[in-house]
A and B are shown apart, each in its own frame.
Chain A
Amino acid sequence: MADEPDYSSRVALPPRTRVAVGGAREVTESLFTSGDRKKKIQGTIFLGLLLFGLSIALISIAAMITWAFVAGGPRLNTNLFTNVPSVVTPENAGYRTAILGTLYVIGGVIVLIVPLGVGAAIYLEQFANPANKFNRFVDLNIQNLAGVPSIVFGILGLAFIVRGPLSLGFVAAAGSLTLALLVLPTVILASREAIRAVPSSIRDGSLALGATVWQAVWRQVLPAALPGILTGVILAVSRAIGEAAPLLLVGAVTFVTFNPSFFEGGYSTLPTMIYSYAKRPQEELQVLAAAGVVVMLVLLIMINSVAIYLRNRFERTW
């Protein structure tokens, strides 16, 4: 072993590997200079630190849920779902129109993102030539869009959907469209991942039997990728349900006392309504805001459970 020349100098290693190889060497050499006992203690302390970090995250979740139930407790009754918003009689105010608004907005989001997101993912994974410059540009663009702050999508919605070319006004449809564009990159990226996880041998097998690319996709690849796509869509939708910032700009902040409609009249959603209540000074409205958080959390935990169930149920090892 002593005769062996230094590995890293024998072969041309890329920079990152060289660091790793150097690290490996350093570790090995240090073994011959210090005691074992010390290493063991070090490892334990480190593990403790890691677990501590992890528990901060988990405790935060637990604390938040507990707080919401305690602070919102007095208002957790059916009035919460049946009564309309009010600042005049805060003790009777509820979330009915906001919950309906959320259903409208999210319904629109689902209708828009499923075909658009899955379609784009299919194109990029199954039809597009990855070496083509335009396709690479589309790919990069989607990754970038996924990182654009949500409030910027609110600006887009304000300038292009509420006003400007579409001029829908401050209506639920505008909120829907804005949120759909916001979560679209997420849906595309998640669907692509699900489609990519289907082995190419399934596609090749179909094509070798005389399927066109679309037939291979529609009859074999897509069914196999469906649970994954569904999980991605659900997670994206749950993000959209909790999203408030872009909706502030496209009108979802009115105290609507009538059931909303999709294309006319003001609307509100659960998260923006919670924000509107929280901003007010009245103590009752603070309780109401916390109760709203409970409703939203229960809704989201239910939706996320479905996603987790789907993932574990259909996890396939090829």
Chain B
Amino acid sequence: MSTSVVSPGASSGGAPIRSLEAPGPRIGEKIIKAVLWATATLSILVTTGIVISLLLPSIGFFQQVSIWEFLTGTIWAPAFANPSYGVLPIVVGTLTVVFFAILIAVPVGLASAIYLSEYASKRVRKTIKPILEVLEGLPTVAIGLFAFNVLTPLIRELTPFLPWTGPFSIGVAGITVGLLIIPLVASVSDDAMRSVPASLREGAYAMGATKFEVAIKVVVPAAISGIIAAFVLGISRAIGETMVVLLVAGAGNPVLSFDPTKGTQTMTAYIGSTATGDISQGTITYDSIFAVGALLFLMTLAMNVLAMRLVKKYREVYD
């Protein structure tokens, strides 16, 4: 019947008995598995590379500037004849961006998510989701240019009572970043709300609750950890945004100020504008890029880990 090793037992049973051993050593399979393993493990090398590339120059930096001076100093002037390395001005710049971004993205993103998850028909979802994805995929340099040329004059026009000065504004940069992260906040919240079991909704509907009540009192509370995760991811993205800030808030000298109408630098803008210029390796200014980068990395890492925890929390309940 088939080609195989015939064992002594076969003669009495009448059927040939086939070997259960591998026909070959399957070396190809082993090599492929090893190669695939290596590609998966590459990501660990990338992380290690990031940590090392941030850490080594940072160590050099902190041998000359104390960590305390770095974290609490209020003057950031690395390129001056009399340099000062207090990171607070650019941290405040970053936080201002985050504040305005959240102010825009949280209500709009959440509202969009509730609409998509609870109200929109399947067809509407299928149309709107790709559009939001396009917005998410827009190059930030394009958005930054648009904001500088259109949004900034528009906002100035609408708020003549504010003390606008130069062409740059950290507040407008924040609002623009907010627009940028709406799709992110919307789609992560939408996922969280859609993973709320239909039985919970049906239970409330069966008792005559309206759509609005189901959305606000059942679905949003049930999906709250996922929704918060969406906000946290949005914050993380806002912290890391570079091009919009460079274009809209300018790359002028950072001054410790909470005034959103002034231009200033953020951590990312400092890195972006300084690394583009001609600074030689080994100088303290060069190393300061990496020290700021390390701080930026730690801040976004903390946000991402928090978001992952939150997402895990709702997944554990419903999946």
> Which of A's residues lie within 8 Å of B, judged by CB?
14, 16-17, 19-24, 26-28, 30-31, 39-40, 42-43, 46-47, 49-54, 56-58, 60-61, 63-64, 67-68, 71, 115-117, 119-120, 122-124, 127-128, 135, 137-138, 140-145, 147-156, 158-160, 163-164, 181, 184-185, 188, 212-214, 235, 238-239, 241-245, 248-249, 253, 271-272, 274-275, 278, 286, 289-290, 293, 296-297, 300-301, 304, 308, 312
Contacts and interface: CB of A to CB of B under 8 A. Distances in A.
Contacts of A49: 111
Contacts of B300: 147-149, 152
Contacts of B296: 149, 151-152
A209 to B, nearest CB: 15
A302 to B, nearest CB: 12
B11 to A, nearest CB: 26
Given A156-B49, A158-B53, 5 more contacts: A28-B208, A147-B303, A243-B139, A245-B272, A271-B243
| The 3 nearest A-B residue pairs measured at CB | A149-B240, A242-B139, A159-B53
B198 interface: no
Contacts of B208: 28, 31
A46 B242 contact: no
B271 A155 contact: yes
A184 B40 contact: no
Main secondary structure, interface of B, reads helix
B42 A155 contact: no
B138 interface: yes
A70 B294 CA distance: 41
Contacts of B26: 212
A159 B290 contact: yes
Interface residues of B, number: 108
Given A53-B108, A57-B112, A245-B242, A67 B150 contact: yes
Contacts of A153: 50
Nearest to A275: B141
B151 to A, nearest CB: 9
A20 B192 CA distance: 13
A40 B135 contact: no
B290 A127 contact: no
In this complex, the member of A60, A137, A243 whose beta carbon has the largest number of chain B beta carbons within 10 angstroms is A60
Main secondary structure, interface of A, reads helix
A60 B37 contact: no
A212 B297 CA distance: 42
B63 interface: no
A203 to B, nearest CB: 15
B146 A63 contact: yes
B258 interface: no
A213 B297 CA distance: 38
Contacts of A155: 50, 53-54, 271, 275, 289-290, 293
A293 B290 CA distance: 31
Interface stretch (B2-10, B73-81, B95-103, B221-229): B221-229
A55 B241 CA distance: 24
A71 B312 CA distance: 46
A24 B212 CA distance: 13
Given A28-B204, A147-B236, A156-B49, A120 B271 contact: no
Nearest to B130: A308
Given A54-B128, A127-B33, A244-B243, A120 B43 contact: yes
A140 to B, nearest CB: 8
